[in-house]
Structure 1
Amino acid sequence: MIDALEQAEAAVVACFDTPVWAAAEHDLVAALDATHRIEQRLAAVKLGLVRELDGRGTATAQGASSTAVWLRDRLHLGVGVARRLVELAATLDAAPPGVRDALAGGTVDVEQVRVIATTVETVHASAGPEAADKAVGALVDWATQFDATLLRKLGTRILDHVAPEVADAAAEAALRAQESRAARDRHVTISEQPDGRLRLTGILDTEAAAALRAAIDPLTTPTGPDDTRAPGQRRHDALADVCRLALRTGELPDNGGDPTQIVVTTSYDGLTRQLGTAALDTGLHLSAEAVRRLACDASILPAVLGGGSQILDVGRQRRLITGPLRRALVLRDRGCAFPGCDRPPRWCDGHHIRHWADGGVTSLANAVLLCGHHHRHVHHGDWMVRLGGDGHPEFVPPAWLDPNQIPRRNHYHRRN
């Protein structure tokens, strides 16, 4: 397989280097069609590799929390893209042979495969395997004419074509299945943008959507004739107001050992003289004006910093990694310190580098921030944790993973 892929790669490079300006129009169209077929066939091969690696547990064996996270680091993908790749590989693996053959033959694309597999699964449950086989043929044929969106719409009445005697009863069952999928697919995704803002996307089920509208609608009305905010801006401000109201209730559960709160780190001069910027524990930055506004309703914890922002003192030492010591740990590590992990501080525990049971002390020099998965992985695995010369954690992989055992660091939480 490796030899064949290398030959294919060389052929693609040769095509890329071929000037297209001199080609006739019909040749360009034919080349485009061939490129699309090859792309889908490569997708079939890629999905097969992902499915096999996922089944073998390669990702967790190498310290990643999931195959999606491992693919993100290995292929430099967005984690959402990597997650969908794993899901589609599983879907294709369970799909009828006709669906896999269509993708390998380049006649359908991966989004159409997702639609066909889901539709055929519904038909199989409603009308049995014979109707499902007929549905595969019909859907693959339609896929040569229609894109994934239209194919999904056509698929809602596929039983009218392959099993009309059960179509009406199946339509009712399909509605119930749709409700079940809506509950399964509910999600909210928060993606950090390069400039520090967040992109909020997701799908709410009916009940959550009603609750959200009830909460923000009263706050989205214009405040007066001078309110020039666009509707989207008013909804943004309303959602922020709801979050502030929730934080003020004091009824939210603790987060990583501390009360749920916004943590801002700034210098004393920056706070009193309104100079410079401040950092949130998520790694984002605020202007001095914003910090002074937050400080009007905040608890302030002094911290003494040395050269290079090395933390020297954060108040009284405690036996557990909580309170001031945890805040110092968050300030230093920014999130899970394990290489390749992007989980934020609120998902993390404080871990003793030298275990407490072995005489390790509870101090910043003997602590590292780890998410739940990597906390367990470090406890039960062969990774060694230590602080580097600059006071930041580094991880030495086991010899079976890296014979040279070169120390690794997390680069996702760097702020400069």
Structure 2
Amino acid sequence: MIDALELAETAVAACFDAATWAATEHDLVAALDATHRLEQRLAAVKLTLVRELDGRGTATAQGASSTAVWLRDRLRLGVGAARRLVELAAVLDAAPAGVRDALTDGLVNVEQVRVIAETVGTVHTVAGAQAADKAVGVLVDWAAQFDATLLRKLGSRILDHVAPEVADAAAQVALQAEESRAVRDRHVTVSEQPDGRLRLTGTLDTEAAALLRAVIDPLTAPAGPDDTRTPGQRRHDALADVCRLALRAGELPEHGGDTTQLVVTTSYDVLRQHLDAGTLDTGGHLIPEAVRRLACDASILPAILGGTGQVLDVGRQRRLITGPLRRALVLRDRGCAFPGCDRPPRWCDAHHLLHWTDGGPTSLDNAVLLCGHHHRHIHHSDWVVQLGGDGRPEFRPPAWLDPDQLPRRNHYHRRR
């Protein structure tokens, strides 16, 4: 085996020196197809080796806690990729011979193998070995045309083709099996980065996915023609808005005896003079502009320290816009007051027109409702917010946008 693999490695290495620019389009496509088949065959060999090593206990014999951990160190993989190798090796080992042969022949890829094996297993349970054998052939044929996602959808009705007499009953079994897989595989990983940011990865089950889409999708639309955020940035900001709403709702469980809250620590002089940064209770750091913006939100408590580190104020909750004052603000603005924004009150922060750190009072005539996006925008742009003669908020655009700087208002909420 080693000799054969070394010969294959030499042959593949020689392909790097091939003059692809001189090849015809037909030959390039044929080479791509051959490369893909070879990749699947190598995957089959690799998974077979992983399964054998796992079965022998090689990893634990060499001091590793598991085969996945051993593969991570041996092959310099991420731990998630290493675990996936072990899982796929087990799936391939348990798969019908026809599925293993299809992978070895380069007819299917490893993701399709997982789908076929799980689908065939369900068919075998419901309709018996003969129907399962038929299902292998049908699914392998479909795999030549469809990727793993579509193959799984088609496989949900495989019994219509191989055992129609039990198809309806089996559809319910398959649905339950899919639900079980979704529950088993659900996870969210939160990885802290060196600079204090977090990387989120994971897989949601069907119900949680629907919940997330229901709350995220309405918040990910561009805020207007001037919104230059990428779709990924809009999803990030939407998730932050959802978290702010959860904090504001006041229904989260207690954490360490206190209600759930975010604490930002900074010095009073820093906050006043726009110098240096604030520190989150998680250890991350924020620029002063972000600290001042967060100080507008009653759900996020600023811990203000004097020159000797003495705590001068933690939250000043009585000075924040909560309770009856917020309800009055909601009745007046009805949602985000920025021109053209349709965000409802529950997605909005109460923003001080004159920052409370600059002596601004906490009162109805010194406050305005702003959604998370426009709250950030106001704190980082030249827009000026003021109250008009009728006591309603209006926004004066920067000179580069409107040389006359005529005040603008949100008319969306007035229409309802």
TM-score by length of 1: 0.57
Q: Is the 8 A contact 2:112 2:151 kept in 1?
A: yes
Deviates more, 1:35-44 or 1:243-252: 243-252
- Provide the rounded CA distance (Å) in 1 between the counterparts of 2:305 and 2:60: 39
How many residues are matched? 296
- Provide the rounded CA distance (Å) in 1 between the counterparts of 2:225 and 2:288: 27
Residues 176-255 of structure 1 correspond to what in structure 2 (within 5 A)?
Answer: 176-190=176-190, 196-199=197-200, 201-206=202-207, 208=208, 232=235, 235-242=238-245, 244-245=247-248, 251-252=254-255
- Provide the rounded CA distance (Å) in 2 between the counterparts of 1:70 and 1:284: 33
**1:94 positional shift:** 1.1
Amino-acid identity (%):
68
Residues 12-411 of structure 1 correspond to what in structure 2 (within 5 A)?
Answer: 12-59=12-59, 66-190=66-190, 196-199=197-200, 201-206=202-207, 208=208, 232=235, 235-242=238-245, 244-245=247-248, 251-252=254-255, 275-276=275-276, 285-290=285-290, 297=301
Letter in 2 for 1:203: L
Partner SS for 2:203 = strand
Deviations 1:246-304 (A, max 9, x none): 899661369xxx998868898999789765556768775433554677798366999xx
Deviations 1:136-178 (A, max 9, x none): 1221222223332332232122212222222222122222323
Partner SS for 1:17 = coil
Letter in 1 for 2:301: D
Q: Is the 8 A contact 1:247 1:261 kept in 2?
A: no
Taking a change above 3 Å as real, the CA distance of residues 271 and 112 of structure 1, as seen in their structure-2 partners, is: same
Partner SS for 1:106 = coil
**1:241 positional shift:** 1.1
- Provide the rounded CA distance (Å) in 1 between the counterparts of 2:116 and 2:24: 36
- Provide the rounded CA distance (Å) in 1 between the counterparts of 2:190 and 2:82: 16
Partner SS for 1:297 = strand
Deviations 1:33-81 (A, max 9, x none): 2211111111011112222333344445666554444434433334433
Deviates more, 1:192-201 or 1:92-101: 192-201
- Provide the rounded CA distance (Å) in 1 between the counterparts of 2:26 and 2:114: 31
Deviations 1:375-406 (A, max 9, x none): xxxxxxxxxxxxxxxxxxxxxxxxxxxxxxxx
- Provide the rounded CA distance (Å) in 1 between the counterparts of 2:278 and 2:56: 45
Letter in 1 for 2:174: A
Deviations 1:351-379 (A, max 9, x none): xxxxxxxxxxxxxxxxxxxxxxxxxxxxx
**1:181 positional shift:** 2.7
Partner SS for 2:18 = coil
Taking a change above 3 Å as real, the CA distance of residues 248 and 75 of structure 1, as seen in their structure-2 partners, is: farther
RMSD: 4.4
Q: Is the 8 A contact 1:92 1:113 kept in 2?
A: yes
**1:183 positional shift:** 2.5
Taking a change above 3 Å as real, the CA distance of residues 112 and 233 of structure 1, as seen in their structure-2 partners, is: closer
Q: Is the 8 A contact 2:263 2:303 kept in 1?
A: no
Taking a change above 3 Å as real, the CA distance of residues 227 and 235 of structure 1, as seen in their structure-2 partners, is: farther
Deviations 1:9-48 (A, max 9, x none): 1111111112222334433333222211111111011112
- Provide the rounded CA distance (Å) in 2 between the counterparts of 1:263 and 1:55: 50
Q: Is the 8 A contact 1:102 1:108 kept in 2?
A: yes
Taking a change above 3 Å as real, the CA distance of residues 115 and 29 of structure 1, as seen in their structure-2 partners, is: same
Taking a change above 3 Å as real, the CA distance of residues 232 and 55 of structure 1, as seen in their structure-2 partners, is: same
- Provide the rounded CA distance (Å) in 1 between the counterparts of 2:112 and 2:51: 19
Which ranges in structure 2 are unaligned for 5 or more consecutive residues? Answer: 307-416
- Provide the rounded CA distance (Å) in 2 between the counterparts of 1:281 and 1:71: 36
- Provide the rounded CA distance (Å) in 1 between the counterparts of 2:205 and 2:177: 17
Taking a change above 3 Å as real, the CA distance of residues 275 and 163 of structure 1, as seen in their structure-2 partners, is: same
Taking a change above 3 Å as real, the CA distance of residues 210 and 39 of structure 1, as seen in their structure-2 partners, is: closer
Letter in 1 for 2:255: L
Q: Is the 8 A contact 2:247 2:260 kept in 1?
A: no
